């Protein structure tokens, strides 16, 4: 890994560099946000459970998660607690990943973390997480959190591999639209059974 003028080169396998987000990345950011929303819809079948509102099915040439996904990216960029955003950039493809850092006092929250589907599993997400951790340390922050959806095992594994190994909070939800027998695979925590 080499650093040069705010850009961090990452693994040869991914042939990408991590650098600060800039206005010219706007279109790529919207596309990645749409993938983020579409992934959430695929995991949950709708926009439930607090994830990005995926909207209706996309028409050819439209954002794959609907126009709401692009609008949500605009709202994200306007957040007052947004402390920084970085992208993974490939010379042959352009921006293939995005991570943001939200401030919460002396701690931070990583949101979103998204790598385009064709580049997942190549270490790009982990490198984005490591970069944002270095940035947070340089800013004197004391902790970072990430809050992936419980069904997003790939995101959970990526966060864990990047050092997010302390379980700091649990959020429980009651699905008021589900029938009692609609249980999916679950997990056991504190000697209780939960679906996810």
pLDDT in tens, 122-156: 899 999 999 999 999 999 999 999 988 877 888 88
Residue 122's Cβ-side half-sphere holds a number of Cα atoms within 13 Å equal to 20
| pLDDT tens-place string over residues 62-120 | 444 456 767 889 999 999 999 999 999 999 999 999 999 999 889 999 999 999 999 99
Determine if the pTM surpasses 0.85: no
Least confident of 35-39, 41-45, 118-122, 143-147: 41-45
**E strands along 58-178, which residues?**
82-90, 94-104, 107-115, 143-146
Does 15 have pLDDT greater than 70?
yes
If pLDDT is split at 50, 70 and 90, which confidence band does 195 have? Answer: confident
Among the ranges 34-38, 67-71, 92-96, 161-165, which has the highest mean pLDDT value? 92-96
Does 52 have pLDDT greater than 80?
no
What's the mean pLDDT when you consider all of the chain? 79
Q: What is the pLDDT, as a whole number, of residue 70?
A: 72
Segment 49-58 shows an average pLDDT of 37
| Residues 49, 173 contacting (CB under 8 angstroms) | yes
If pLDDT is split at 50, 70 and 90, which confidence band does 167 have? Answer: confident
10/160 Cα distance (integer angstroms)? 19
Q: What is the pLDDT, as a whole number, of residue 94?
A: 93
Does 32 have pLDDT greater than 60?
yes
Does 54 have pLDDT greater than 90?
no
- How do beta strands 143-146 and 107-115 pair? parallel
- Closest-CA residue to 57 (of 72, 67, 49): 67
Q: What is the pLDDT, as a whole number, of residue 116?
A: 93
- The DSSP bridge partners found for residue 7 are 4
């Amino acid at each position: 890994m080499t650093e040069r003028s705010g850009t961090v080169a990452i693994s040869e396998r991914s042939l990408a560099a991590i650098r600060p987000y800039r206005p010219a990345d706007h279109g790529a950011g919207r596309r990645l946000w749409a993938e983020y929303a579409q992934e959430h819809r695929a995991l949950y079948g709708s926009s439930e459970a607090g994830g990005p509102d995926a909207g209706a099915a996309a028409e050819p040439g439209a954002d794959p998660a609907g126009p709401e996904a692009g609008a949500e990216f605009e709202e994200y960029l306007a957040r007052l607690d947004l402390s920084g955003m970085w992208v993974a950039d490939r010379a042959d493809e352009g921006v293939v990943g995005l991570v943001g850092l939200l401030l919460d006092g002396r701690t931070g929250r990583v949101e979103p973390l998204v790598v385009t589907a064709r580049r997942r599993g190549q270490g790009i997400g982990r490198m984005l997480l490591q970069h944002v951790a270095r940035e947070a340390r340089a800013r004197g922050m004391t902790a970072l959190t990430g809050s992936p959806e419980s069904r997003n095992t790939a995101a959970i594994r990526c966060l864990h591999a990047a050092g997010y190994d302390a379980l700091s909070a649990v959020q429980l939800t009651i699905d008021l639209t589900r029938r009692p027998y609609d249980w999916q695979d679950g997990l056991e925590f504190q000697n209780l059974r939960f679906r996810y």
